[in-house]
Amino acid sequence: MSTPATAEVLSASPPAAARVRARARWRRRLDALLASTPATVGLAIVLAWVVLGILAPVVAPYPPNANDLGALARPTPSTAHWLGTDQLGRDLLSRILWGARPVLVIAPLAVLGAAALGSLLGLSAGYHGRWISLVITRACDIVLSFPVIILYMIILAHFGSSAWNIIGVLTLTKAPIIARIVRGMTLDLREREYVAAAKMRGESALYIMFVEILPNARGPLLVDMCLRTGYNIVIIGVLGFLGIGLPPPDPDWGGMVKDTYGMMTVWPHMSLFPCAAISSLVVGFNLLAVGLREIGLRD
């Protein structure tokens, strides 16, 4: 892997040239990404959902919580309701489009939270060594050894479930995984010359961890964050399905399945469409992660 930090310090080029070079680097990365079929497909799916989620107020044909009681007699897909309506006569297409919003906000936020906390723990454990490392790795092992779904049930049943509580538990349970990855890379990176140089300059430990080491660990971290976002979406769906997810009545894909899968033999469309929505989004993130990993290997 290249060492941009040292390269930039040494060359001391004017900012404009650096910007051009940075743009060229991004251009190269994007080309590499688009050369991989899984990455292209994954990126397309994810972007499609992001656009649909942002535009939900414009493109959704009905308000997400509006009941069309006339449609209750025949809730199946029709020209008025393209994907049909749910058991309360609410338009499924509108609810699925609106349902993309909470998922696409909560999952990445929780990943960012976990990445921040995990990097801090992993860097400290890898950089300091000895007992700090021991305490952090043991604490992470304990969290990781706990079956997470049971942890979610206990915590969310106790504190009640809201978007912030879900972000909180996801951050706490995913941070140890990221910490483990970052610690492994830190152990390797702290022996590099640029770290020694920074120490010689008298930089603080925090500066060295976050400015010298972390940027050079970003490759594997990025792949993992992409995977984690997919997993988080699954968990948000699962929590909704178990009845401890985002509170009703606002649309939540997992909650929509929970409310309707009992009627599957009569009206399968009510649970099938939300299932298809969440599955496609997670597949998108995972394909993107497969693609990112391929690029990482080629570098």
Partner 1 sequence: MARFFVKHTLFLLLTLFVVSFLVFTLNEFSPGAVARKLLGAYATQDQVDTLTKQMGLDRPLLVRYVDYLGTVATGDLGYSQRFKLPVKDVIWKHLRHTALLAAIAFACIVPLSMLLGVTAGMREGSRLDRAILMFSTIVASIPEFALGVFLASVFVAWLGWLPGTATLLAGGGWSVPAQLVLPVAVIVLFDSGYVVSMIRASMVEVMQRPYIRTAVLKGLPFRSVILRHAVRNAMLTPITVIMLQINYLVAGVVVVETVFAYPGFGRMMLEAALFKDIALVEAGALVAVFLAVVTNILGDIAYVLLDPRIRA
Query: Residue 294 CB, nearest distance to partner 1 (Å)?
Result: 11
Should residue 116 be labelled a site residue for partner 1 when binding is judged by CB under 8 A? no
CA distance 123 to 110: 19
- Residue 2 interacts with partner 1 (CB under 8 A): yes or no: no
List Cβ neighbours of 44 (8 Å cut-off, separation of 6 or more).
Answer: 284
Binding mask 21-40 for partner 1 (x = CB under 8 A): -----------------x--
The residue whose two tokens read 């929509």 is 256
Nearer to partner 1, 115 or 282 (CB): 282
Residues in 156-175 that interact with partner 1 by CB under 8 A: 157-158
Query: Cα 258 from chain centroid?
Result: 23
Size of the site for partner 1 (CB under 8 A): 41
Q: 166: Cβ–Cβ under 8 A, 6 or more apart, which residues?
A: 106, 110, 156, 236, 239, 245, 246
Q: Which of residues 215-254 bind partner 1 (CB under 8 A)?
A: 230, 234, 237-238, 241-244, 254
Q: Does 14 bind partner 1 (CB under 8 A)?
A: no
Does residue 123 belong to the site contacting partner 1 (CB under 8 A)? Answer: no
Instruction: Indicate whether 153 belongs to the interface with partner 1 (CB under 8 A).
Output: yes
Helices marked H in the chain: 4-11, 15-35, 37-54, 56-59, 92-128, 130-145, 148-159, 163-189, 193-201, 205-207, 218-242, 253-260, 269-298
- Minimum CB separation of residue 18 from partner 1 in Å reads 37
Q: Given the rule CB under 8 A, which of 103-111, 112-120, 135-143, 199-207 is the region that contacts partner 1? A: 135-143
* Greatest Cα-to-Cα distance within the chain, rounded to the nearest angstrom: 77
CB 294 within 8 A of CB 223: no
Contact flag: residue 278 with partner 1 (CB under 8 A): yes
261-265, long-range: CB < 8 A, 24+ apart: 263/87
| Shorter beta-carbon distance to partner 1: residue 123 or 239 | 239
150 lines the binding site for partner 1 (CB under 8 A): yes
- Smallest distance from the beta carbon of 21 to partner 1, in angstroms? 33
Query: Which of 184, 183, 185, 177 is closest to 115 using CA atoms?
Result: 177
Report the chain's terminal Cα–Cα distance, integer Å.
7
Nearer to partner 1 by C-beta: 41 or 80? Answer: 41
To the nearest whole angstrom, how small is the minimum distance from the Cβ of residue 15 to partner 1? 41
Summarize as ranges the residues that interact with partner 1 (CB under 8 A): 38, 138, 141-142, 145-150, 153-155, 157-158, 230, 234, 237-238, 241-244, 254, 257, 261, 264-265, 268, 271-272, 275-276, 278-279, 282-283, 285-287, 290
